[in-house]
Structure formats: structure tokens, C-alpha cells
Amino acid sequence: MLTRSRQWTSIRAWGLRIAKRSSLKKAKIAVARKLAVVMHRMWRDDAPFHWGAAA
């Protein structure tokens, strides 16, 4: 998500801010955990996926 994807997302921006103040390795782990939490919540609530933040 941080290095392969070219699409700009809020999760990617968040991860890059972590990488600036820490390391890229820690940022990758943080982004992976955040995505896992989001996907688990979607699975549990049976919610559809929406690109971008809600307005």
C-alpha cells in the first residue's frame, strides 16, 4: 500500500507520515494493522466498501 500503490488515499498519507517520523518498516506494519481492523469491521457489520472518506 505504501510503496506499490500509486493511488493517493488517506490511509497511505497516514502511513507516510508515520514513515517520516519513524521507519518505513514500522509504517508498513501500522498500515497493515489498520487495514485489517477496517476489513474486520466491514466483515462483522456486513458493510460495503467505499473509496474515500464519508462526506
Q: What are phi and psi of 24, to 5 degrees?
A: -65, -35
52 phi-psi bin (left φ>0, alpha ψ -120 to 50, beta other): left
Residue ranges of domains in the chain: 10-45
pLDDT score at 32: 94
What pLDDT is attached to residue 27? 96
Predicted confidence band of residue 19 (pLDDT cuts 50, 70, 90) = very high
CA distance 38 to 28: 15
One DSSP character per residue, 1-55 reads --SS--S--HHHHHHHHHHHHS-HHHHHHHHHHHHHHHHHHHHHHTPPP-SS---
| 55 pLDDT above the threshold of 70 | no
